[in-house]
C-alpha cells in the first residue's frame, strides 16, 4: 500500500471546547495538523473547502446529532473517514454509526493510544480507497481509448452500389461483436460475429477474427472457408473463447448471395415477395472443435432487397415483435433508414438496462 507521506489535516467537530482542544493536542503529539470547530455549520463550511480525509465528529450536540450530520460528510466525499465520538456506551449509536458508514467509534475520555490506532486505521483505509480510485480512473481511461480504437478499426467503408447501415453497441465500452465489409471486384463479403462474453479480451479476439476473415477472403470467396479458418484459429490458438458468426458473399453481377453460419442467428432477406429467413442448416459454434465444416447455401436477390444480419444481443427469438415491424417497413417499400428507425425504436423499449445488456449489433444492406 502506498502511504501518504504528508500527513493530512484532520477536522474535529464537538460542541465541548475542552474536548475539542484536548483532541487537538493529542493529534499534535502524533504529528497531525488539525482544525477544531464547536459549531457544526462552521465545520461543514470548512469541510466543503478542504474535503478532509479524516473527521472526528461528536454524536451528542445541543442542536443536532452527529449521527444526522454523518451522511452529509459521506455524501460529499465517500472516501472521508468519519470517527464518531461519545461519552455514552449506547450500542444503538454504534450500530447507527456503522450503518451510516462511520469508520470508527471512540468513547470519551480517550487516550493517546486509542486516538493513534483510530487515526492510523482510518488513514490506511482512506489511502486504500484513493489508490483504488486512481486505478479505476486509469482503467476507465484505457477502456475509453480502447473503445475509440475499436470504432476506428471497425469503421464502415463505402461499398458502391450498396447502401449500408451498421450499428455496434457495446454493453460496456468495448464490444465482443464485430463485423467485416470487404469488396473484391464484383463480390462483397459481409460478416457479423459475436464473441463469447464481452469486454476488452473479447474485443481483441474480434479484431483478430476480422483480420483473419479479410485475409482468407482475398484468396477464397467461399464463406464456408472463411468460417473454417476462423474456427481453426479459435480452437487451436486461442482456446478460451467461442463465437458465432454469419458470412454472406454477395455477387453483384450474378445477383446471388452465398452464405454460411456458425451457430449465429438466421440472417433475413427482405424481398418484394416477403420476408425470407436464411435458415438452412449450417455449422456449429466456432472455437469448440477444430475440425468443423460449415455448409454454404446460395439464394438469388433483386435490386432493392434488404439483407439484415444481427447478433443475439439485439434479437434472440424469432417471435420478437421487431420482425413484424420490419416486415411492415418492407410492405411499405420504405428506405433503409426506416428499417434502422424501427430497430432503434425497438431497442429503446425492449432491450435490458445497461447493467444486464449484452453487446448488440446489426448490419442492414440495401442490395
pLDDT digits (tens, 9 = 90+) for 177-234: 888 999 999 999 999 999 887 778 888 888 889 999 999 999 999 999 999 999 999 9
Higher model confidence: residue 314 or residue 252?
A: 252
Residue 217 is placed in which grid cell? Answer: 477472403
Distant-in-sequence, close-in-space partners of 7: CB < 8 Å, separation ≥ 6:
31, 32, 33
CATH number of 154-366: 3.60.40.10
Mind listing the pLDDT tens digit for each residue in 130-178? 888 888 888 888 778 877 877 777 778 888 899 999 988 887 787 888 8
Mind listing the pLDDT tens digit for each residue in 280-292? 887 788 988 888 8
Asked if residue 97 has pLDDT above 70, the reply is: no
Average pLDDT, stretch 320-330?
89
The pLDDT value recorded for residue 62 is: 81
**Any idea which residue has 487516550 for its cell?**
111
Q: Exposure pattern of 215-246 as b/e (b: 16+ CB <10 Å)?
A: ebbeeebbbbbbbbbbbbbbbeebeebbbbbb
Asked if residue 3 has pLDDT above 50, the reply is: no
Strands (E), 65-195: 81-86, 104-107, 163-169, 177-184, 187-195
The pLDDT value recorded for residue 302 is: 93
Q: How confident is the model at residue 120 (pLDDT cuts 50, 70, 90)?
A: very high
DSSP 9: P
The pLDDT value recorded for residue 1 is: 45
Task: Give the architecture (CATH level 2) of 10-142.
Answer: 3-Layer(aba) Sandwich (3.40)
Percent of the chain with pLDDT over 90: 43
The pLDDT value recorded for residue 5 is: 55
The pLDDT value recorded for residue 100 is: 66
The pLDDT value recorded for residue 93 is: 65
Q: How confident is the model at residue 353 (pLDDT cuts 50, 70, 90)?
A: low
Enumerate the domain spans of the chain: 10-142, 154-366
Does the predicted model carry a pTM greater than 0.75? Answer: no
Asked if residue 295 has pLDDT above 60, the reply is: yes
Q: Exposure pattern of 44-65 as b/e (b: 16+ CB <10 Å)?
A: bebbeeeebbbbbbbbbbeeee
CA 307/CA 330 separation, integer angstroms:
11
Amino acid at each position: 500500500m502506498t502511504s501518504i507521506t504528508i500527513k493530512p489535516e484532520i477536522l474535529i467537530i464537538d460542541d465541548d471546547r475542552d474536548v475539542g482542544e484536548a483532541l487537538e493536542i493529542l493529534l499534535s503529539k502524533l504529528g497531525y495538523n488539525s482544525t477544531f470547530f464547536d459549531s457544526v455549520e462552521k465545520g461543514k463550511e470548512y469541510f466543503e473547502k478542504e474535503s478532509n480525509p479524516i473527521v472526528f465528529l461528536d454524536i451528542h450536540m445541543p442542536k443536532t446529532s452527529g449521527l444526522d450530520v454523518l451522511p452529509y460528510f459521506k455524501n460529499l466525499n465517500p472516501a472521508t473517514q468519519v470517527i464518531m465520538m461519545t461519552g455514552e456506551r449506547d450500542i444503538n449509536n454504534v450500530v447507527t454509526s456503522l450503518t451510516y458508514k462511520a469508520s470508527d467509534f471512540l468513547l470519551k475520555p480517550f487516550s493517546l493510544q486509542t486516538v493513534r490506532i483510530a487515526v492510523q486505521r482510518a488513514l490506511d483505509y482512506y489511502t486504500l480507497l484513493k489508490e483504488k480510485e486512481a486505478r479505476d480512473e486509469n482503467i476507465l481511461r484505457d477502456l475509453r481509448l480502447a473503445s475509440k480504437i475499436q470504432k476506428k478499426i471497425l469503421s464502415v467503408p463505402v461499398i458502391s452500389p450498396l447502401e449500408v447501415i451498421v450499428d455496434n453497441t457495446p454493453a460496456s465500452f468495448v464490444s465482443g461483436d464485430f463485423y467485416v465489409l470487404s469488396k473484391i471486384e464484383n463480390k462483397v463479403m459481409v460478416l457479423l460475429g459475436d464473441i463469447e462474453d464481452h469486454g476488452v479480451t473479447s474485443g481483441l479476439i474480434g479484431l483478430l477474427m476480422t483480420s483473419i476473415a479479410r485475409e482468407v477472403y482475398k484468396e477464397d470467396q467461399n464463406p464456408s472457408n472463411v468460417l473454417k479458418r476462423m474456427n481453426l484459429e479459435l480452437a487451436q490458438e486461442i482456446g478460451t473463447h467461442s463465437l458465432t458468426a454469419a458470412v454472406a458473399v454477395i455477387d453483384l453481377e450474378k445477383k446471388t448471395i452465398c452464405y454460411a453460419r456458425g451457430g449465429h442467428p438466421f440472417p433475413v432477406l427482405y424481398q418484394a415477395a416477403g420476408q425470407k429467413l436464411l435458415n438452412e442448416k449450417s455449422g456449429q459454434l466456432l472455437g469448440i472443435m477444430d475440425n468443423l465444416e460449415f455448409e454454404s447455401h446460395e439464394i438469388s436477390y433483386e435490386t432493392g432487397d434488404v439483407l439484415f444480419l444481427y447478433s443475439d444481443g439485439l434479437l434472440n427469438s424469432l417471435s420478437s415483435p421487431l420482425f413484424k415491424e420490419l416486415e411492415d417497413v418492407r410492405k411499405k417499400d420504405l428506405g433503409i433508414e426506416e428499417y434502422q428507425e424501427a430497430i432503434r425504436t425497438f431497442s429503446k423499449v425492449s432491450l435490458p438496462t445497461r447493467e444486464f445488456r449484452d453487446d448488440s449489433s446489426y448490419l442492414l444492406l440495401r442490395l
